[in-house]
Amino acid sequence: MKIFGRPVPLDEIKYVLLDMDGTLLDKYFDDYFWERLLPEKYAEKKNIAFGRAREKLLSLYKTHEGTLNWTDIDFWSREVELDIPALKEQMRHLIEIHPHVEEFLRMLKRRRKKVFLVTNAHGKVLDIKLKKTRIGRYFDDAVTSFEMGYPKEMPEFWEKVRKRLGFDKEKSLFIDDTKAVLQTAKRFGIKYIVYKAYASSRAERGTSREFPSIEDFRELMD
């Protein structure tokens, strides 16, 4: 298989590590939840204008970006005094898989690859999304940053994940839509790194000069 003309030797790859939100799943759900729905609910609770509520929350999100708090919905429930898991459950109908993800996962299983989900998502969110999409059956294991005690942006995450999953860095492919995460994985030594350029169906395509990119998982299929 090739990515924009650059070969990715699937025969040499034994382990495939995949991000969830924005990579396998359409990030529109998360963007809508955090940038629209939660500010609406927060504005109602605090009896303030939507614009003011959104500005306050976006600033608060930025403060915790790249930390375990960033995707810790229990933390955010306390911060905003709203039941985040319950709100996400109510909006689960918006959770969607990116095109051709299941075909790609089935191809990996046919080729007898070890397939791992590695995500910063909180365990409660992971449960909601796997129940909605039913893609959990394709993974040999799933690891969250909360289990490891570090977000994927930190090298300690990858040290602990390698011990947990036992993958060979020289025979591993990792796909993610977040450049900071890919850079950390590259420094850790994962040989094959791919950037998922379309994280959300409602947003513009991302770009990367550092990593080979895909827009659709068909680009990785034989």
Which pLDDT belongs to residue 209? 82
Burial class (CB in 10 A: 0-12, 13-18, 19+), 194: buried
CB neighbours of residue 145 within 10 Å: 25
- Spatial separation of the C-alpha atoms in residues 104 and 216, rounded to whole Å: 10
pLDDT at residue 4 in the model:
45
Phi-psi region of 47 (alpha: psi -120 to 50; beta: other; left: phi over 0): left
CA distance 145 to 117: 11
Centroid of chain to Cα 45: 29
Could you report the average pLDDT of every consecutive run of 10 residues in the chain (222 residues)? 58 96 97 96 96 96 91 94 95 96 96 97 95 96 95 96 96 96 97 94 84 90 75
Asked whether the CA dihedral 80, 82, 86, 87 is positive or negative, the reply is negative
CA 85 – CA 90 distance, rounded (Å): 9
The SS3 call for residue 20 is coil
Q: How far apart are CA 22 and CA 87, in angstroms?
A: 20
Q: What domains can be seen in the chain, in order of their start residue? A: 2-26+95-220 (3.40.50.1000), 29-93 (no CATH)
pLDDT for position 208? 82
Q: Is 106 left (phi over 0), alpha (psi -120 to 50) or beta?
A: alpha
Residue linked to tokens 């109602």: 44
Assign 55 to helix, strand or coil.
helix
Q: Which residue has the tokens 């850790």?
A: 188
The pairing of beta strand 172-176 with beta strand 15-18:
parallel
pLDDT recorded at residue 222: 66
